[in-house]
Chains A and B, each alone.
Chain A
Amino acid sequence: MKQVKKVFGLLTATALVAAMAGCGSANNNASGSSAGSASAPTPAAGSAAPAKEKLKKISIFQSKVEITDALEALAKKYTAETGNEVEVWGAAGDAYMTQLQAKLTANQGPTVFSVGTGAQADKLKSYLYDLGNEPFTKNIAPHMELKEDGKVVGVPYGVEGFGLVYNKDLVDPKNVTDLASFTKTMEKLKADGKNPLSLSQEAFFLIGHILNTPFALQPDPKAFIDKLNKGEVKMADTKEFQEFGKFMDVIKANSKNPMEVKYDSQMGDFATGKTAMVHQGNWSYSMLKDFGNMDAKIGMMPFPLAGNNKIAVGVASNWVINSKASPDEIKAGEAFLNWLFTSDTGKNAIVNDFKFIPAMTNIEATKLDPLSKAVYDATKSGQTIPWATAYYPSNIVVNDLAPVAQAYFLDKNMTGQQLLEKLDAAWAKAAK
């Protein structure tokens, strides 16, 4: 049995290597060949070309600590199936970007790595290899690819979405559709002794995500942010933001102070029924499941600002190839990504091991948790609003907006309108 597997693996490897060698030789496979011309290999099974030496060992560096285990296991499977080696590096959650920058500075950059959509990708533009010729990029769901200067440079990890995660026993989405019904529901829950809606002290969970809604509801969020950067518009003068201020006042008046809540306790309170709603994303399910199975009780609904009835869906991270790596490494990197997004093993890992909601048309989502399912369904039906956060100036949420939001939640007398004015001021400083 083992032997069969081995032989099979060897065959697959041979086929793949042969196929790639074929592509390579057509493009002058010398070390000097321009990196851009190497097109991706297609695993032409059964190709009879003679076996050549295996691909160069590549390194992967990526920011999502939670999938490291699964990625390491996948790398082993990749080696077993193709004979090529992959080394997975590691970094603790918020240390990723610093380490990446240091490794690039030392010319020790990884072959394949991850970048966040938006400011981070812009900053690293010169390191992003053009993936336009890769066949697997054709399978990326519409508008989900990472583009720089019109070229496809990154493949999404998957889509993620956020909105109001609610407890079905305590809240009926029909009663949370606009400011008036929202306020009523909040007050009723408070009277029942529940914490109606919980934010938490982490910058994105305090202000970053929830502030996305008024941006996303603008006719053209990107243009609006450009104007905001130039100082041509103000949040405090814009209708959707003004209503956002009122929502925040309702939240502050009825909920536990989010400054006293950590992500851990936010989800703990929600899981134990002390909190009725949290403004969170589908990723929070991984935390909820540690408290026992509550799939039947939870759902995700839109944050009903200005009657909004859509969940915010976007791409947080993308796979990219380091354009400054050696041509051999780039070729091996392409082979790996191609395998990840086209082989059954790779596709299966994305959905079942990484637990991503795939952003590829050739990958079916199965066995999704209830929160991810809500996001997936919304994506399929097009009932989504975008992540305007991607267009924000670099790190503005953590560095500039969070301190303002902290002040707002710690100062009982500060109103939502004042919050907007302070946010405007902080924005003006950061956009400089």
Chain B
Amino acid sequence: MNKTKDRAWFALFTVPLIFIFTTVVIIPFIIGIYYSFVKWDGIPANPKVFVGFDNYVQIFKDERFLASAWHTVKFTVLALLSVNVLGLVFSLLVTAKLRVSNAARTMFFMPNLIGGLILGYIWQFLFTDAMEFIGSKTGLGHIFFNWLLSPQFALYAMVVVFTWQMAGYTMIIYIAGIQGIPDEMMEAAKVDGANLWQRITKIIFPLLMPAFTICLFMTLSGAFKIYDVNLSLTKGGPNNATEMFAMNIFNEIFGYGHYGLGQAKAIVFFIIVAVLTLTQVAITKKREVQM
């Protein structure tokens, strides 16, 4: 009796969202899996030919895709570090009860307000005009030059822009975490003579574990899926050195019109990333429980 009642409550609370979510995300995803087994150019009126695992076999011969997967991994690792370090530093700074905290909090979050494409265009000005200007004024031409022209530095440029955009985002989540730490605990630590570093490492970090889990995952998924900034900042260049995974798939689907192949790529990548990140979530979640 009680069990059926519990079940009814469970359904009442979860079914509406799950229903919407299923129609918008899950079913299209399943249709997408089906498409990964056909050869089709993506134009609805044109024929779809079932080809079995052909698309999947092709992926592993596609050097450019493998290269783009590698760029994405490099980019993600770098972005993960820089976004979270900076986001955490920001959150610590603005919660330090300084007079300018409020203003700073708004300023750090502002980049997040400029969405998607235009962001990359604005940064092009900074990399082409501002960097060269600084380089010629300071004589540090080997650091301040147009990063977008160097295959190696163009990737770093992507990391910089992504960090600039996402640091404020993670900052907000870290702030929510830090604010959740009871003031009494910090006061008590202060009274006990703990210095700032001790307070950060012994109290804040452990209690921030849930925020870490969330931020790491959000940055990870954001970095893996990055497309807008990629398109508007480097267009994958120079010489494909910054072509990320999402862009490669997008080109496959809409550029070449290899719909099935593009879907197959997306699914392979999804499986790999899902296994990796879910492991990461599981590990950090475990650590939370230990607290």
Contact = CB atoms under 8 A, between A and B. Distances in A.
A395 B250 CA distance: 12
Interface of A: 97-98, 101, 104-105, 123-124, 126-127, 203, 257, 259-260, 262, 324, 394-395, 398-399, 402-404, 406-407, 410, 430
A398 B255 CA distance: 9
B77 interface: no
Contact of A260 (B46, B128, B151, B251): B128
A349 B257 CA distance: 35
| Most chain B C-beta atoms within 10 Å of own C-beta, residue among A98, A127, A259, A406 | A406
A394 B238 contact: no
21 contacts: A97-B254, A101-B42, A101-B43, A104-B43, A104-B44, A123-B41, A126-B45, A203-B235, A257-B149, A259-B149, A260-B149, A395-B256, A398-B255, A399-B256, A403-B237, A403-B238, A404-B239, A406-B238, A407-B239, A410-B149, A410-B239
Interface of B: 41-46, 124, 128, 146, 149, 151, 235-240, 251, 254-257
B83 to A, nearest CB: 27
Determine chain B's interface SS by DSSP, over half rule: loop
Given A105-B44, A260-B149, A402 B256 contact: no
A415 B69 CA distance: 30
Contacts of A262: 124, 128
B238 A259 contact: yes
A403 B44 contact: no
Nearest to B58: A432
A97 B124 CA distance: 25
A398 B252 CA distance: 12
B266 to A, nearest CB: 16
Contacts of B43: 101, 104, 123-124, 126-127
Contacts of A257: 149
A419 to B, nearest CB: 12
Nearest to B146: A260
Nearest to A422: B239
Contact of B46 (A97, A126, A403, A430): A126
4 interchain residue pairs of minimum CB distance: A126-B45, A395-B255, A407-B239, A406-B238
A399 B255 contact: yes
A399 B251 contact: yes
Contacts of B128: 260, 262
A406 B151 CA distance: 10
